[in-house]
Amino acid sequence: MLKRLAAVLGLVLVAAALAPAREPDMAALRPDQVAFLALYKELVETNTTLSSGSCTLLAERIAAHLKSAGFADADITLFSVADHPREGGLVASLPGRAKSARPMLLLGHLDVVEAKREDWTRDPFVLMQENGYFYGRGTSDMKAMDATWIDALMRFRQQGYRPKRTIKLALTCGEETTYAFNGANWLAHNRPELIAAQFALNEGGGGRTDGHGKLVIEQIQVGEKAVQNYLLETTNAGGHSSMPVRDNAIYELADALVKVRNYEFPLKFTDTTRAFFAKAGAARDDELGRAMVALSHDPADQAAEAIVSRDRSYHSMLRTTCVATLLSGGHANNALPQRATANVNCRIFPGETVEQTRAALVAAIADPAVSVALVAPIRPLAVQPPLDPSIVGPAEKLVARYFSGVPLVPSMSTGATDGIFLEAIGIPVYGVPGGWTDPDGNGVHGLNERHSVQSVFVGRDFLTDLIKAYADAP
């Protein structure tokens, strides 16, 4: 793998150079890598936070690049809505040569999570390179992949490469915010013909290192859970706190929350999670690994389930989960509470509806005095994409070529991406492998976000090859 990485990066590296502390030699970059780096830098340095940035501005800059690479005006659509002028996006299309082949879609979000200069070590909106990493908001989530998608389409156009199937690109705003405008959702509802595709490639997969620069696993994300918030509410006539009664809105809510805590949703598998537990379990040589394999073969194995569920991420991959996240109640410290509310945040297993989940909460609480209501926005049902060999196969082949000995494991995300909006209109979405992150999460959504320099460049080459493999597949 070391040799391969060095060769792919086009740099003269000795094995020790892969340690994060050693700076890659940027003077050795190929001309196409220099151009790609300039694009990546422009993306990171164009602020796209909701509070002070503009996805619309970045989309316009990207459109100008695509046009300079030879894209016709008719192949590019910029969009935004009047209420959200800075939250626009773009769709572009590289026409394929075979009319019978359905298009594929490259999906990406342009927006980034807020970043406060005073909290960061470096300016979050200046791309800086240090210790083998690029630093800046969006370096990992997800402007490296955005730049890769844009750069691939530009080079394909410049090289006169005509894929068999049309390759579409949709770059949108609002993935990182729950209550603002969501471009992917808007496209799915208002311009579905623009993004119509047999399948889409997105963030959500990728590699993980051991924290010391060694890549240990690659993942392809096939499916995700849906997020839905519920409001639990109790009310009471109240009165003077000097004369309390047992019937109390806060106690009633507290009793309900204890029942929510103690309720465990039933264990479920999808094809993806069954394959995940079998493969990822087999790759470990410990009690947890053996339990993961056993559970994937027999979901009724309670001893195995108890061991696997000790890991909070695996526990969440096996079922719907709901947890109390916000609490409020009462109106004065000397009054009996007239009202108490709690937000319960659920992560719903693919195929289960928001109504079924509400009904499960109501049944677990078993108190008609506690109301359980859906909180807007109401997210669509998580549709499980198929574990399709024509998608997983080419990815597996490329992982073996680029990262010899590293397994590719299908995974289901317990978080959420924009994929859910496309799956709702029948486009299966896959989170691609390629670039990698460290076990600490690379500061994504947090402070000092970073992305390994090698991951950026190797990931780009990997994904360019992956796009071509799908675009020209028979």
Could you give the CA distance from residue 299 to residue 160 in angstroms, rounded to a whole number? 52
Q: Whose Cβ is closer to Zn ion: residue 18's or residue 173's?
A: 173
Q: Is 348 exposed, middle or buried (0-12, 13-18, 19+ CB in 10 A)?
A: buried
Taking the least distance from each CB to Zn ion, the nearer of 113 and 291 is: 113
Least Cβ distance, residue 463 to Zn ion (angstroms): 15
- The residue (of 138 and 163) whose beta carbon lies closer to Zn ion is 138
Q: How far apart are CA 223 and CA 352, in angstroms?
A: 13
Of residues 35-54, those binding Zn ion (CB under 5 A) = none
To Zn ion, the closest distance from the beta carbon of 295 in angstroms equals 30
Sign, CA dihedral 46-49-54-58, equals positive
| CA distances (Å), origin 298, targets 68, 277, 293, 304, 352 | 56, 11, 9, 9, 21
Question: Do residues 144 and 459 make contact, with C-beta atoms less than 8 angstroms apart?
Answer: yes
Rounded Cα distance between 364 and 83, Å, is 41
Spatial distance between the Cα atoms of 370 and 331, rounded to a whole number of angstroms: 19
Minimum CB–partner distance for residue 353 and Zn ion (Å): 25
Of 112 and 398, nearer to Zn ion (C-beta) is 112
Asked if residues 283 and 411 have their Cβ atoms less than 8 Å apart, the reply is no
Task: Compute CA distances 102 → 94, 162, 353, 395, whole Å.
Answer: 13, 14, 30, 19
Question: What angle (nearest 5°) sits at the alpha carbon of residue 149, between those of residues 146 and 150?
Answer: 85
The least CB distance from residue 176 to Zn ion, in Å, is 7
Contacts with Zn ion in 56-95 (CB under 5 A)?
Answer: none
Q: How far is the CB of 109 from Zn ion (least distance, A)?
A: 6
Cβ proximity to Zn ion: between 141 and 461 the closer is 141
Residue 154 CB, nearest distance to Zn ion (Å)? 22
Number of alpha helices (DSSP H) and beta strands (DSSP E) in the chain: 15, 19
- Smallest gap from Cβ 274 to Zn ion, in A, equals 26
| Residue 141 vs 423, nearer CB to Zn ion | 141
Contacts of residue 375, Cβ cutoff 8 Å, sequence gap at least 6: 228, 229, 230, 231, 343
Site string for Zn ion, 123-162 (x = CB under 5 A): ------------------xx--------------------
**Smallest distance from Zn ion to CB 138, Å:** 9
Q: Which is nearer to Zn ion, 269 or 436 (CB)?
A: 436
Tokens matching residue 136: 């800046």
Size of the site for Zn ion (CB under 5 A): 2
Candidates 120, 163, 134, 150; CA nearest to 59 is: 150
Per-residue contact track with Zn ion, 440 to 469, x per CB under 5 A? ------------------------------
Which of 75/141 has CB closer to Zn ion? 141
Measured from the CB atom, the residue of 135 and 156 that comes closer to Zn ion is: 135
Task: Give min distance, CB of 204 to Zn ion, in A.
Answer: 8
In the complex, the residues that contact Zn ion under the rule CB under 5 A are 141-142
